[in-house]
Chains A and B, each alone.
Chain A
Amino acid sequence: MKRRNFLKFSAAAGITPKRCLLPFASDLFSFSNESNLSKVEARYYKKLPDREIECQLCPRFCKLGDKERGYCGVRENMGGTYYTLVYGKACAVHVDPIEKKPLFHFLPKTTALSIATAGCNVNCKFCQNWEISQVRPEQITHIDLPPESVVKTAQKNNCPSIAYTYSEPVIFFEYMYDTSLEARKKGIKNVVITGAHVNPEPFKDLLEVVDGVKIDLKAFNQDFYTKYVRGKLQPVLDAVVTASKSQVWLEIVYLVIPTLNDTPSEIRQMCRWIKNEIGPDVPLHFSRFYPNYLMKNLPPTPISTLEILRNTALEEGLNYVYIGNIPAHEAENTYCPHCGKIIVNRTGYLIGKINIENGRCVFCGQEIPGFWS
């Protein structure tokens, strides 16, 4: 099904990818009141002499003098104390299908209340949400939505989970962490959609309070991270391994960009690493790239490339390999690795019958890893 037809079909069927509670970037660059930013002391930083601080949240370790902000643009040194400016300041609030994250093995067919604040600690040239991730909080509209209000909003919209997403949730760590604690009290799950450019200590702490993590692995070489992400690869790989060893459900997304990170040999190397370090059962999504932000000179990823890479991953022994951003592609479905039958049928965000019971394939009894209910 072509994208256009799929959208028509979805609309006719009453399926929309999201319900928008606060459209992000709707009023971009008509400024918010600067005094409406939060002033909550940040976690994970070290005070230095002469009113300087060192941020220890992410591998950048920004060393900042008084009145300076970190690379993320949302954490500021004020007189030697480091503050987050975005605590409770949501710039995007949507009700999304969980499959949109994408998380395919986590409460399928449910919705996640999805929130974001401004800011990001990397600067991917291909960012799809750059209008909120690459700005300062005072440059976009946001609403006051403290943790307890996020949870209430999730309850009101019958969302069994809250997703911290769109921009880079690591940079609104305090807000995400406190909201997650609040959500847990009410039986609501938490999922983090992240590039995982984060230091081990905060990440481990975060894993204690959330239930699912989707990590964007943007390439499998440092050169790409240097040129196109402005970040480091190793901390991301470390975070992937840490998440896989925790109780938290993990899925990996790899955005395939034509000519830049799409060589089968590199993908093969990455898949071997995943299989060896994490195991064959972690879902891996190859997502289609669309030109955006600073990378408009490249075409969308050919579908054939995605199929070749998926086959490479399957050859390497990974059990759950998906293709994303191509609605109705057969690789959106989940296939039982034992009997080969479709156990979750997906057409975009339209989810068919789920042939999994008690975590097992209904056809052959194969255990299917995931967070199914």
Chain B
Amino acid sequence: MSKVIIVRTKNISKSNKEINSEKLNNLYKRGFHLLTGFKDSKNSIKTLLSTDKKTGIKINTIGGRSLSTRPKVSLFLADHLIKGGFQEKDILIWDRTNRELRSAGYRLNMNQGGIKIFGTDSNTIGYDKDLTVHRSIGSRFSSIQSDIISQSISLAILKDHGLAGITAGMKNYFGSIHNPNKYHDYNCNPFVADLFDTAAIRGKHKLTVIDALTVQFHKGPAYHSLWTENYGGLIMSTDPVAADYIGWQVIEELRKKHGLPSLKEENREPLYIKTAEELGLGSADPANISIIKEEI
């Protein structure tokens, strides 16, 4: 049985506005507690991750300042890792490009000490020279994903996606390869699942945290204020498929609430989630997912 946590709180932020730190901290704290059964960070983090390994937090900053993983959300996650026993220098918050990171409000840091924040396009980083060929995928991985880190957290924004249906934890890893534009046919199916199934991701991914503080439930992945909801939630799971499945249900719930057709009715059901289940990456069957919802 896969466990998925949805922790929510009211008035944590308004779109584009500052996030309430205390509320965000409480969301993480409670989320980790519910996910691992341990109240204190030290034990809960150790249940999920090896604290002596270089760990990447893959964020999503393609949406600019309006709809990206906001700095506070990733830095507070990093803070929980540190409280759990990590050294700052072993944490790397990253995405494709420094330009996107900057435009989402991040201050880059490539120094030895401190939490590192940089993009694949930084000097001396780049993509692997060799292609990884796996199922429908033929891509070069960011050397961050393939070489630098040993374990990985996907910290993605929850968004409707005009082609994929939704984008959440698994599709976030499109930002770890050099040619994501080649994988948007057929609602990104099976590409999202096949990419996740590569050793560089499947072998390293430990945790999905979906940032559902502000959810773009229609016309994504671009930001449209008309179709965003201040959902005020984090979705957390060690099962990447179950996390995305629940993210999808959240999007459907919001679409219904606002009188929009389902993704299936719009011929863009995120079938890659089912494909991921078939590959043994996790569960997309609600009968096998234990959802723990809590409002703080």
Contact = CB atoms under 8 A, between A and B. Distances in A.
Interface of A: 28-31, 34-35, 50-52, 63-73, 123, 125, 134-136, 138-139, 230, 293-294
Nearest to A63: B162
Contact of B99 (A35, A66, A71, A135): A35
Interface stretch (B127-135, B192-200, B276-284): B127-135
A135 B121 CA distance: 13
7 contacts: A29-B126, A29-B129, A63-B162, A67-B63, A70-B181, A71-B181, A293-B131
A34 B97 contact: yes
A245 B182 CA distance: 33
Contacts of A69: 181
B132 to A, nearest CB: 11
Contact of B221 (A30, A68, A73): A68
Interface of B: 62-64, 97, 99, 121, 123, 126-127, 129, 131, 133, 138, 140, 162-163, 178-179, 181-182, 184-185, 219-224
Given A134-B179, A138-B121, A65 B129 contact: no
A121 to B, nearest CB: 10
A29 B179 CA distance: 12
A67 B181 contact: no
A294 B179 contact: no
Dominant SS at the A interface? Answer: loop
B222 A65 contact: yes
A72 B129 contact: no
8 residue pairs, one from A and one from B, having the closest CB atoms: A66-B222, A65-B222, A29-B126, A294-B138, A31-B121, A73-B181, A29-B127, A123-B182
Nearest to B137: A294
Contact of A29 (B97, B140, B181): B140
A78 to B, nearest CB: 11
Contact of B126 (A31, A34, A66, A230): A31
Contacts of B179: 73, 134-136
Given A29-B140, A34-B99, A34-B121, A65 B181 contact: no
Given A69-B181, A138-B121, A294 B222 contact: no
B255 to A, nearest CB: 16
A161 B185 CA distance: 37
Given A138-B97, A294-B131, 16 more contacts: A28-B129, A30-B126, A31-B126, A65-B219, A65-B220, A67-B62, A67-B64, A67-B221, A71-B182, A71-B184, A134-B179, A136-B181, A230-B182, A230-B185, A293-B131, A294-B133
B218 to A, nearest CB: 9
A136 B97 CA distance: 12
Contacts of B222: 50-52, 65-68
Nearest to A123: B182
Contacts of A134: 179, 182
B188 to A, nearest CB: 12
A47 to B, nearest CB: 14
Nearest to B179: A134
B224 A50 contact: yes
Contacts of B138: 125, 293-294
B191 to A, nearest CB: 11
Nearest to B163: A63
Contacts of A294: 131, 133, 138
